[in-house]
A and B are shown apart, each in its own frame.
Chain A
């Protein structure tokens, strides 16, 4: 099932989505054939988009019915009815994402129709009230607090839960990681070059992405957001591990125990843009300039390796304390 990208006859389209990123609950990374089996918890055939430089698999889409209020930036009331699409992705057999999205379209009629009507348009939520596309997009991004109107996060979580409950996972935790959220909203208008506005600092766990692109770019825009979410999660997780390691050293404990699994299992997964269509690459280039994703990553990885090296020297010298860094 592919998200319909209806023609732009009705004017600009708004597509909103939420991505949750976390660790696969298994001590070791999963081999590809396991990932394929695991993703079968969502009926249909999982798709591998690539095996190199790291493997990346996506489950089929599934449908969730929605009949809910929609947030708008102006706080004008809006209501929508239809379906959301959601899927899971697994990268490197290690990182799991739940990704849900819905295209917000003006309804032809102002009355609710039979479900049959909505089911025929997977991934479309029809807005029964008059609403401005920008207003809806910004409203969705702003409304990440309590009681979200259109709760795509919950749908993403459900996909994650289903995947994590696969029987053959050992449910071990090799390293501590926070689950992060990326909210995105794309306004798709006729042929324009993709552009994005990304907010990383609003909250420790929440990032927002606002994209402008042409309607045909929808799948690519979504992929870009998933890739961004994945790399942002990697940065978040590695900084967390580093601060935990600092605390461990301050308290006289061995930081290597915390860092080793991060270096072994996460460092190889840094491949920004590798799974992103060339059309979207300028957005990555922008991020590399500011805030300098890969530069940040390299600094963090270097710090981890330094800490491990210090510890090795310390052990070689008979456990003499090394000055704290």
Chain B
């Protein structure tokens, strides 16, 4: 199963949430690959805490592969990461592997060979990993267009592809996420050009709300009553706006609460961060876990 992670804007939490979902899915017992297709800013290496791949690798990353066909490296998180919790995943976990981008890769020209190269890469990963998460760059990027071209190809028709659109829980982000999917040159329109069946493509897109303020937090319930009341009104307005923009409950895959750890640092949240050091919130991990499980839940992905 291929999971494409996308967002209209940068800084939405796409990479951090995507990496955490991949990690949770591996903890749920499946072999998972994370592909850093964010050619402009490959940050997954930093999130998984792999020193040699902080801002991408110096050679044999995904750009090199797409440009010249050089096989990309696969970094096994269990051996490459600096973080103990990632190195010591329980035996019931699957393998978690990062296919990094290249340092200073940047965008590059289109070429005829890119689509077939991507198809063989995705097909190869599909043979080995139950889930591959592909972090596309923000907006109507080249990576997103490439992903649509590839998944629209005949050779990929047996491979389940799903799209997660990450957005923050604000007016502008809701409208932007709507534009990315339903708007001009959006995913649906571009998908149609690449031979996707519009209905099927639509059914394979779900939204993930990131860094959502928790109204039950003491900051609100124990703070100024006027603040709490006003926040609730805002939240309800956003819910209405989301529903009107096609981002309502039926297309919602999950909601990740604002987490103090992630506010400070882009990282994987381990169970130890919640239970032992207690720096992260249990609700954050629960959200990642639930989203990871829903990736393959048939009821979640029924046609709308």
* A contacts, CB < 8 Å to B: 22-23, 25, 27, 146-147, 153-154, 157, 161, 164-165, 167, 169-173, 176-179, 244, 247-248, 250-251, 253
A169 to B70, CA, bound (A): 25
Contact of A171 among B128, B129, B156 (CB under 8 A): B156
Any A CB within 8 A of the CB of B278: no
Q: Is B123 touching A171 in the complex (CB atoms < 8 A)?
A: yes
Query: A248-B29, A251-B28 known; A146 and B73 CB under 8 Å?
Result: yes
Query: A154-B71, A165-B116 known; A176 and B123 CB under 8 Å?
Result: no
Query: For the complex, would chain B's binding face be called helix, strand, loop or mixed by DSSP majority?
Result: loop
Among all A-B residue pairs, the 8 with the closest Cβ atoms: A247-B29, A250-B92, A172-B158, A161-B120, A171-B158, A251-B29, A247-B92, A178-B128
Contact of A173 among B73, B116, B127 (CB under 8 A): B127
Contact of A164 among B29, B120, B130 (CB under 8 A): B120
**B6-60 residues at the A interface, CB under 8 angstroms:** 28-29, 31, 59-60
Q: Given the complex, which residues of B lie within 8 Å of A169, measured CB to CB?
A: 155
Q: Is A176 touching B92 in the complex (CB atoms < 8 A)?
A: no
Chain B, 265-304, contact with A by CB distance < 8 Å: what is the 0/1 string?
A: 0000000000000000000000000000000000000000
Query: A147-B59, A247-B92 known; A177 and B128 CB under 8 Å?
Result: yes
Any A CB within 8 A of the CB of B124: yes
Query: A157-B71, A171-B155, A251-B92 known; A179 and B29 CB under 8 Å?
Result: no
A247 to B129, CA, bound (A): 14
Q: Is B127 touching A179 in the complex (CB atoms < 8 A)?
A: yes
A252 to chain B minimum Cβ distance, whole angstroms, is 10
* B-side interface residues, number (CB < 8 Å): 29
Chain B, 116-139, contact with A by CB distance < 8 Å: what is the 0/1 string?
A: 100110011011111000000000
B206 to chain A minimum Cβ distance, whole angstroms, is 23
Any A CB within 8 A of the CB of B198: no
A159 to chain B minimum Cβ distance, whole angstroms, is 12
Q: Given the complex, which residues of B lie within 8 Å of A172, measured CB to CB?
A: 158
Any A CB within 8 A of the CB of B244: no
Contact of A247 among B71, B94, B127, B157 (CB under 8 A): B94
Any A CB within 8 A of the CB of B229: no
A219 to chain B minimum Cβ distance, whole angstroms, is 28
Any A CB within 8 A of the CB of B154: yes
**B182-217 residues at the A interface, CB under 8 angstroms:** none
Q: Given the complex, which residues of B lie within 8 Å of A164, measured CB to CB?
A: 120, 123, 155
Additional 17 contacts, C-beta under 8 A, given A173-B159, A179-B124, A247-B91: A25-B127, A27-B158, A147-B59, A147-B60, A165-B120, A170-B158, A171-B123, A171-B157, A176-B31, A176-B129, A177-B127, A244-B94, A247-B92, A247-B93, A250-B29, A251-B28, A253-B29
Query: A147-B59, A165-B155, A172-B158 known; A23 and B28 CB under 8 Å?
Result: no
Q: Is B158 touching A153 in the complex (CB atoms < 8 A)?
A: no
Which residue on A lies nearest to B130, using beta carbons? A176
20 A-B residue pairs with Cβ-Cβ distance under 8 Å, sorted by A, are A25-B127, A27-B158, A146-B73, A147-B59, A154-B70, A154-B71, A161-B116, A165-B120, A171-B156, A172-B158, A173-B127, A176-B31, A176-B129, A176-B130, A179-B127, A247-B93, A250-B91, A250-B92, A251-B92, A253-B29
Q: Given the complex, which residues of A lie within 8 Å of B129, measured CB to CB?
A: 176
